[in-house]
Amino acid sequence: MSTGPLSTPATAGPPPLRAADTTPDRPWPVRHLAPKIADYIAKMPPVWVEGQVLNLKKWNTLYFLTLRDTDLDMSLSVTAPASAIDRLADKLADGAHLVVHARPQFHAKKGTLTFAADDVRLVGLGELLARIEHLKGILGAEGLFEPSRKRALPFLPAVVGLIVAQQGDAEHDVVSNARARWSAVQFEIRRVTVQGPRAVPEVSAAIAELDRDPRVDVIVVARGGGSFEDLLPFSNESLVRVAAACRTPLVSAIGHHLDTPLLDLVADFRASTPTDAAKRVVPDVSEERARVTQARLRARAALTMRLTREQTGLDHWRSRPVLVNPTTLVDVHEHRVVALRESARRSLHTALVHGRAEVAGLAAQVRALSPAATLDRGYAVVRRADGHVVRDPAEVAAGDALRIRVARGELAAQVTAP
C-alpha cells in the first residue's frame, strides 16, 4: 500500500481547446501551454525600448544585458549580436542609456522571456541634455522652481537628516564640519546608492522617510560630485517630484560646478559642496557668540546714547522759566482776575445802592397815588352790595345795603332816604 501524497489523475482524453475551458480535472499540461505562449508572443512586432544597462556580459558572439527602467524597479533581459554592440563597446558600461530595437522571444523550455535585439543605439549627451531641458520646462511651468515655494532653513536644527552614498567622503565632510561648528547637532543618516539604476528609488525613499520623521528639522542630500552621467538620477522626474513634495526644508549638496541637476532647482537651498551644506545648515557657535557679544555692546552703546540725549533734552526743558516757576504764566492772569472781581463788586454795589434809592422813590410815589393814602386823610369809599362804587346818590334807593371802606376797615350801612 502506497503512503505518498494522494492525487487525482486527469480525465483521459484530449485537452480543452480554450484556456477558459480548463478545469482542475481537465488542465493543460505545461507542454501544451508553453508553445501557445511562445506563438502568442511571436506575433508581437519588434519595439524600440529605452533603459539603463545593467550586468553587461559577452559570451562568444552574443552580448547579454539587463535593460532597467530609470524610474521603477523593472527590467528586461536582452540579447544582442556582437555586430550590433562591438562598435559601442568602448562607450558601453553599466549605467549607460541605451535604445534597442528588439523582438520579444519566449523560451518554452525554461519559461523565460527575453528580447532579441538587432539594433542598439547609445543615448548621447546632447539628447540627455535636451530631455532634461524639456523636463525642466515642464516642471517650471508647474511652478516647482518658484522662489515662493522655498522654505527658510531653521536657524539651529536639533536633528539633520543626511542622505549620502554608502561609501564616500560626503558623509564625513558634512558631519565633521557641522559638529565642529555646533557639537550638539545630531544626524539621522540614510546611506543609499547615489548613481545607477538604484539611485532614484533609494534616494526618493530616503527623502520620504526622513520627511515623515518629526524630529528631523532639515534634510541634506549630499554627493561628492561626479560626471554628467553619474548625476542623471538627480534630474529624474520622479525624484524631483518627491523632493518638491517634501515638507521639511531640503538642501541639495551634490558637489558639482558645471552642471545643475534639477534637484538643485527644486530644493529649498543649493549648496555647492557637502562642506558648504554643513556651514549653511549649522551655525558656527563661536561666530554666533561673537555676534551676540557685538550685538550686546551695540545695544548698550545705543541705549546709553539715547539716555544721554534724553537727559540733555530734559535738562534743557527743566531750565526754562516756565518750568522753573510754573506759576509765572498764571500769576499775571490771577492779578487781572482779582482786579476785575473787585471792580465788578464795586460796580454791583453802586448799582444796588442806586436801585434801592430809586425803588424807595417809586414806592413813595405809589403810596402818594394810592387810594389808601386818600382814605388816611378821612375819605371813604361807598360801594353797593354788588361791589359797584357809588358816585351819585341817584345810584342807590332807600333800603339798599352799602359797604363803606375807611382807612382802618369797612362799615355796613343802609340807605334810609335817597
Task: Note the pLDDT tens digit of each residue in 329-343.
Answer: 787 788 888 889 999
Given this model, what pLDDT does residue 296 score? Answer: 93
Range of 19-23, 123-127, 147-151, 328-332 with top mean pLDDT: 147-151
Residue 179 has pLDDT above 60, yes or no: yes
Beta strands in 153-275, from DSSP E residues, in sequence order: 159-165, 186-192, 218-222, 250-253, 269-270
Given this model, what pLDDT does residue 124 score? Answer: 63
Which cell numbers in the block locate residue 249? 526644508
Q: How does strand 97-107 pair with strand 112-122?
A: antiparallel
Give the chain's largest Cα–Cα span.
187
> How many Cα atoms sit within 13 Å of 95 on the Cβ side?
14
- Residue 9: which pLDDT band, with cuts at 50, 70 and 90? very low
Mean pLDDT for 174-200 is: 87
Residue 97 phi, psi (nearest 5) = -95, 130
Asked if 271 contacts 144 with a C-beta cutoff of 8 angstroms, the reply is no
Q: What span, in angstroms and rounded, lies between the C-alpha atoms of 263 and 207? A: 12
Given this model, what pLDDT does residue 204 score? Answer: 92
Mean pLDDT for 188-195 is: 88
Given this model, what pLDDT does residue 247 score? Answer: 93
Q: What DSSP string runs through 312-324?
A: HHHHHHHTSHHHH
> How many Cα atoms sit within 13 Å of 124 on the Cβ side?
3
Which cell numbers in the block locate residue 310? 534724553
For residue 369, how far is the Cα from the chain centroid? 102
Residue 27 has pLDDT above 60, yes or no: yes
Given this model, what pLDDT does residue 289 score? Answer: 83
Given this model, what pLDDT does residue 246 score? Answer: 93
Q: What span, in angstroms and rounded, lies between the C-alpha atoms of 248 and 250? A: 6
Interior angle at CA 96, CA 91 and CA 100, nearest 5: 95
- Residue 210: which pLDDT band, with cuts at 50, 70 and 90? very high
225 or 194, which is more confident?
194
Mean pLDDT for 141-165 is: 91
Residue 353 has pLDDT above 50, yes or no: yes
Asked if 78 contacts 66 with a C-beta cutoff of 8 angstroms, the reply is yes
Instruction: Please state the length of the chain.
Output: 418
Mean pLDDT for 11-35 is: 82
Residue 8 has pLDDT above 80, yes or no: no
Given this model, what pLDDT does residue 311 score? Answer: 92
Given this model, what pLDDT does residue 126 score? Answer: 62
Share of the chain above pLDDT 90, in %: 23
Residue 106 phi, psi (nearest 5) = -110, 120
Range of 267-281, 356-370, 401-415 with top mean pLDDT: 267-281
Burial code (b: 16+ CB inside 10 Å, e: under 16) for 329-346 equals: eeeeeeeeeeeeeeeeee
Share of the chain above pLDDT 70, in %: 92
Collapsing DSSP to helix, strand or coil, 253 comes out as: strand
Which cell numbers in the block locate residue 90? 568602448
376 or 325, which is more confident?
325
Q: What span, in angstroms and rounded, lies between the C-alpha atoms of 164 and 190? A: 6
Q: What span, in angstroms and rounded, lies between the C-alpha atoms of 48 and 339? A: 118
Given this model, what pLDDT does residue 12 score? Answer: 58
Task: Give residue for cell 339798599.
Answer: 400
Asked if 402 contacts 384 with a C-beta cutoff of 8 angstroms, the reply is yes
Contacts of 385 (CB under 8 A, 6+ apart): 400, 401, 402, 403
Over the Cα atoms of the chain, what is R_g? 60
Given this model, what pLDDT does residue 309 score? Answer: 93
Q: State the chain's mean pLDDT as an integer.
A: 84
Collapsing DSSP to helix, strand or coil, 44 comes out as: coil
202 or 258, which is more confident?
202
Mean pLDDT for 120-129 is: 72
Contacts of 95 (CB under 8 A, 6+ apart): 52, 53, 54, 195, 196, 197, 229, 230
Beta strands in 260-398, from DSSP E residues, in sequence order: 269-270, 381-384
12: left (phi over 0), alpha (psi -120 to 50) or beta: beta
pTM over 0.75: no
Digit-coded pLDDT (tens) for 59-92:
888 888 888 877 677 888 888 888 887 777 677 7
